[in-house]
Amino acid sequence: MTASPVPRKGYLFVALAAILWAVSGSSAKYLFLGGMTPLQLTQARVTLSGLLLLIWLVLRNRSLLVIPPRQVPYFAALGIAGLAMVNFTYLITISKLNVAAAILLQYLAPVLIALHSVVLLRERLSAATLVAVVGATAGCYLVVGGYNLDLLALNRQGVLWGLTAAVSFAGYSICSEKGMRRYSPWTVLFHSILFAALFWNTLGLVWKGAPPPVDLFRQTYEPLQWALILYVAILGTLVPFGLYFEGISLIRSTRASITATLEPISAGVISFFMLGEVLEPLQMVGGGLVIGAIILLQLRKEYDDATPDLLRRRHQAREIHGA
């Protein structure tokens, strides 16, 4: 008997999304080396992706654009305190660290979510969670070059921004999950991007250091820079999110999360060929620890989700046998 092609397609979608995200990180770093600032690229990313997503949803399913007025404060907070900060902290981390190291730092988010569940939601601290937290912490220490005081001093700002990116991503993931229980992932994503774009395009009116509204269209970029900006907005944002959502619909979200760890691995390879960036051996070991911690947490989650159903089946089997 051959395996169903549906799960394979789901894994393929998520893997492709991870690779597209990885290329986006190296593309962003290339733009920063060419003089573009993380703030400018953040504004460009949310503005272009928001406009394109709006057009796509209008043509495909306008109902996904509609939310009740009472939900506007929730989506405004999700977009401004959540996605706007996730994008900015992620990109500024890439500007200061190797692309793979920056992505690995943001991948600490699942570990932070697990800690949130234990500390604030009073969930039981399992051995798997404890091992994952310790492994991720040790991995983070190695990834940022903590074993080399000179390297750590050089990367201090990048490390702080990377940890902030992980916290932002963890917070956005927790809060967006609430919205996805009631609305389509596309509805949550669109309104998050909408409010993030409004925030970054109006910040320039009140803060001198921010780009003026829609600063993207006031700049003169070279063709290659425009191509990379469009890549980050389309193939680095909208397309991989679509593939990831489709992948989750075909395979369990926990399996999708594990498959998505292909992103930092791909980022290391792509940034080497595209930018000449190289991680030291101990940094690679640290990356392996971080990825291993994520996989362990996701496998534990899948086990916890499956346990009630397994116990129910055993109970039914005992009843049948007893009858």
Q: What is the pLDDT of residues 148-159, one digit of tens each?
A: 766 666 678 888
Query: Which secondary-structure segment (H or E) carries 235?
Result: none
How buried is residue 106: exposed, middle or buried, by Cβ count under 10 Å (0-12/13-18/19+)?
buried
- For the ranges 4-8, 99-103, 139-143, the maximum mean pLDDT occurs at 99-103
- Percentage above 70 pLDDT, the chain: 84
Find the domain containing 39 and state its range: 5-322
Domain count along the chain: 1
Rounded Cα–Cα distance for residues 69 and 56 (Å): 23
Give the tokens for residue 106. 């943001």
What pLDDT, on the 0 to 100 scale, is given for residue 80? 94
Q: First vs last Cα of the chain: how many Å apart?
A: 34
Q: HSE-up of 76 (CA within 13 Å, CB side)?
A: 8
Rounded Cα–Cα distance for residues 268 and 23 (Å): 10
| Closest listed residue to residue 85, CA positions, set 208, 183, 171 | 171
Q: Cβ(210)–Cβ(203) under 8 Å?
A: yes
- Structure-model confidence comparison of residues 120 and 39, the more confident one: 39
Q: Is the pLDDT of residue 36 over 80?
A: yes
Q: What is the pTM of this model?
A: 0.82
Query: Which secondary-structure segment (H or E) carries 269?
Result: helix 262-275
Q: Is the pLDDT of residue 114 over 90?
A: no
Rounded Cα–Cα distance for residues 323 and 319 (Å): 6
Q: What is the mean pLDDT of residues 77-104?
A: 92
Question: Three-state DSSP class for 289?
Answer: helix
Compute CA distances 101 → 31, 43, 90, 106, 109, whole Å. Answer: 18, 23, 11, 9, 14
Rounded Cα–Cα distance for residues 159 and 145 (Å): 10
Lowest mean pLDDT among 30-44, 62-76, 115-129, 266-280: 115-129
pLDDT bucket at 308, cuts 50 / 70 / 90: low
How is residue 199 annotated by DSSP?
A: H
